[in-house]
């Protein structure tokens, strides 16, 4: 089974990112054993943001192996992200 990863693209100055943070933290606590969580500051890592074609933040990308399963742009509630994690195999 492919490794499931959640990548959280954000920036310190991003207000909506701060709204998204507690949702991601909850998911990280619940899925720590089955999902790898990566936190990418788009200002510090513009190459990775470009690789994933991040044009707006917050953006959350769920991957399984090298395949992007789901992408969420803007503040997203827990349920759709959790569904994407589960469909990815978490």
Please state, as a whole number, how many other Cβ atoms lie within 10 Å of the Cβ of residue 67.
9
Residue with tokens 């693209």: 9
Q: How far is CA 53 from CA 67, 68, 72, 90, in A?
A: 14, 12, 12, 24
Residue with tokens 């769920």: 62
Q: What residues are annotated to the active site?
A: 14, 17
Structure token digits, residue 75 = 């503040």
């Amino acid at each position: 089974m492919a490794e499931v990863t959640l990548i959280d693209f954000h920036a310190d100055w991003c207000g909506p990112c701060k709204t998204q943070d507690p949702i991601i933290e909850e998911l990280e606590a619940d899925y720590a054993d089955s999902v790898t969580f990566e936190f990418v500051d788009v200002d510090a890592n513009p190459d990775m943001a470009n690789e994933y074609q991040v044009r707006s933040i917050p953006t959350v990308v769920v991957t399984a192996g090298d395949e992007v399963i789901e992408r969420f742009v803007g503040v997203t509630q827990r349920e759709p992200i959790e569904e994407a994690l589960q469909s990815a195999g978490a």
